[in-house]
Amino acid sequence: MVELSAEESWALLDDNVRVGGAVGRVAVAIMNHPDVFPVNYAVDHSAGAPSVVFRTAEGTKLAAAVLGTAVAFEIDGYDPIAGEAWSVVLKGQAHEVESIHGVFDTDEMPIFPWHSGPKHRVVRIVAEEVSGRRFFVAGT
């Protein structure tokens, strides 16, 4: 196993968006009960430090993400030709993007929700910790 730098981890997050597989998982705690939600996401580099942005509807995911003390965000991938897998985890704070300017900025991001329901709320995860690992898959 190889520990990845923050730069390598952000590069994998970006690459995942470019190849069309931009699905990650947001982990939250709801009244001390953990839950995990899949989300389509984009990486935003416009505010200096990169952040993860996703759209959602009103409900448990939005409330838990922005009212809780912290969230985790995770993606992983596998290269069958190299027999190599990787995982990236961000830990930090989630904030709803509420300014009209901020919401318009995210409209241009390549976020394509799988579910057809309206997703008018935008959440930004500001990472306080970024970690990643790359490893060879046994038996490949």
**CA 42, CA 67: separation in Å to the nearest integer?**
21
CB count in 10 Å sphere of residue 82: 11
At 27 the pLDDT is 92
Q: Which amino acid is at 6?
A: A
What domains does the chain contain, in order, with CATH numbers? 2-136 (2.30.110.10)
pLDDT, tens only, 90-140: 999 998 886 555 554 555 655 656 566 666 778 889 999 999 999 998 876
Closest CA to 75 of 136, 139, 4, 138: 4
Specify the residue for token string 């952040």: 51
pTM over the 0.85 mark: no
The backbone torsions φ and ψ at residue 4, rounded to the nearest 5 degrees and listed phi first, read -95, 150
Rounded (5°) CA angle 1-35-67: 110
At 32 the pLDDT is 81
